[in-house]
């Protein structure tokens, strides 16, 4: 049995704590805020498949504010509609969701220290750093820096209630360089509006453009955050006295295309709790589980970020010609792009042309 110190009580930290407890360790969790889930810095849109993978930890439907079955994608003016005809994602109340996961860890036996920022040299014992993109754990122990971040600005806006089960995505590297903007309906009356751009771009300016583009006045009260969209080159190390593992945003376990980190982060957090005494196994298992998909997300993110708006419009037009929406409706996967690669992807354009 080992002493494990988890720094950060977000989803990845809480899941790592439960996993370490299940593997016989004693666990303490340090969270700088007064409760888990506060402040809320993300949209809370999580794939149904990813949420189902957490059913052993939480009843996610208790925290669902809305269900999503598709997306309306604006490729710099060229519009695509993807409608799966079924629930593929949920808009989650992240404050209550994160708090419930922390309560699960506490019920299982983890000792929580709220309102206390664990600082270097950190308490004795093995450490799981789940302390976000500006991880003090990573900084203190000399982990390689994350090479790319997206700045995000978001706010709650009035919503007209139309197609409230579809996310609206806006692609334009002139207005949202390297990333995108979005409207995520929360219910019939309100939606979350957000815009991101690769730093050092100005996300607040990007959100102002979305306001003008949609003809909706956005409030000046906004939430600002950063998202890592590249992985750390190393996420574990050993010292003579303890092991240090990074999970979630601290490790860059984030989908570069969307900025979502709950699914990959919590999956790797389970491995961190299991392999806290064998860090090389942790690194190997994380790469085996999600390495290819994380790489695919990053390659797609960087490729899209280099495209001019004319190229994005052309891409949207080509996708419409080949009925790519239909392919995504049947085969799309929010988390695992590698699952979409196969004969059906290459045969679909041929069928689309034949059926024209």
Facing residues of 197 across strands?
Answer: 151
What pLDDT does residue 326 have?
A: 66
Interval 276-296 mean pLDDT: 95
Residue spans of the domains in the chain: they are 3-63+93-146+232-304, 149-228, 308-354
In this predicted structure, the answer to whether residue 117 has a pLDDT above a threshold of 90 is no
Looking at the chain, the whole-number percentage of residues with pLDDT higher than 70 is 90
Domain 3-63+93-146+232-304, second-level architecture: 3-Layer(bba) Sandwich (3.50)
- 148-206 tens-digit pLDDT: 999 999 999 998 878 999 999 999 999 999 999 999 999 989 999 999 999 999 999 99
In this predicted structure, the answer to whether residue 106 has a pLDDT above a threshold of 70 is yes
CA distances to 5, 276, 277 from 127, rounded to whole Å, are: 5, 8, 10
Say how far apart CA 12 and CA 180 lie, in whole Å.
25
Interval 43-60 mean pLDDT: 94
CB 44 within 8 A of CB 91: yes
Looking at the chain, the whole-number percentage of residues with pLDDT higher than 90 is 79
- Peptide bond before residue 346 is cis, with ω within 30 degrees of 0: no
DSSP three-state, residue 345: helix
Higher-confidence residue of 43 and 198: namely: 198
State whether CATH 3.30.930.10 applies to domain 149-228. no
What pLDDT does residue 321 have?
A: 76
Confidence (pTM): 0.91
Say how far apart CA 228 and CA 89 lie, in whole Å.
22
CB 29 within 8 A of CB 102: yes
Most confidently modeled range among 69-78, 327-336, 341-350? 69-78
């Amino acid at each position: 049995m080992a002493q494990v110190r988890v720094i950060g009580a977000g989803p990845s930290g809480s899941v790592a704590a439960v996993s370490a407890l299940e593997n016989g360790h004693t666990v303490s969790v340090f969270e700088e805020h007064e409760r888990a889930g506060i402040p809320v810095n993300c949209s809370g849109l999580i794939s149904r498949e990813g949420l189902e993978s957490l059913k052993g930890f939480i009843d996610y439907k208790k925290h669902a504010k809305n269900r999503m079955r598709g997306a309306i994608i604006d490729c710099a003016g060229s519009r695509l509609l993807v409608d799966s005809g079924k629930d593929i994602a949920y808009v989650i109340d992240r404050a209550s969701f994160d708090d419930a996961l922390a309560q699960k860890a506490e019920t299982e036996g983890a000792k929580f220290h709220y309102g206390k920022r664990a600082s270097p040299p950190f308490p004795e014992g093995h450490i799981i750093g789940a302390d976000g993109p500006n991880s003090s754990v990573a900084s203190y122990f000399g982990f390689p820096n994350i090479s790319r971040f997206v700045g995000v600005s978001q706010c709650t806006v009035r919503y007209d209630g139309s197609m409230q089960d579809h996310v609206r995505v806006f692609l334009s590297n002139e207005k949202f360089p390297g990333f995108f903007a979005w409207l995520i309906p929360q219910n019939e009356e309100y939606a979350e509006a957000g815009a991101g751009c690769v730093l050092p771009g100005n996300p607040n300016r990007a959100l102002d453009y979305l306001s003008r583009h949609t003809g909706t006045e956005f409030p000046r009260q906004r939430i600002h955050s950063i998202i890592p969209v590249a992985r750390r080159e190393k996420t574990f190390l050993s010292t003579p006295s303890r092991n240090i593992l990074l999970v979630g945003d601290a490790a860059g376990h984030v989908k570069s295309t969307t900025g979502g980190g709950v699914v990959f982060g919590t999956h790797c957090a389970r491995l961190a709790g299991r392999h806290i005494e064998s860090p090389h196994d942790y690194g190997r298992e994380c790469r085996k589980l999600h390495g290819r998909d994380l790489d695919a997300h990053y390659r797609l993110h960087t490729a899209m970020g280099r495209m001019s708006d004319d190229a994005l419009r052309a891409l949207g037009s080509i996708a419409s010609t080949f009925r790519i929406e239909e392919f995504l409706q049947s085969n799309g996967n929010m988390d695992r792009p590698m699952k979409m690669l196969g004969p059906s992807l290459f045969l679909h354009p041929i069928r689309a042309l034949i059926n024209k």
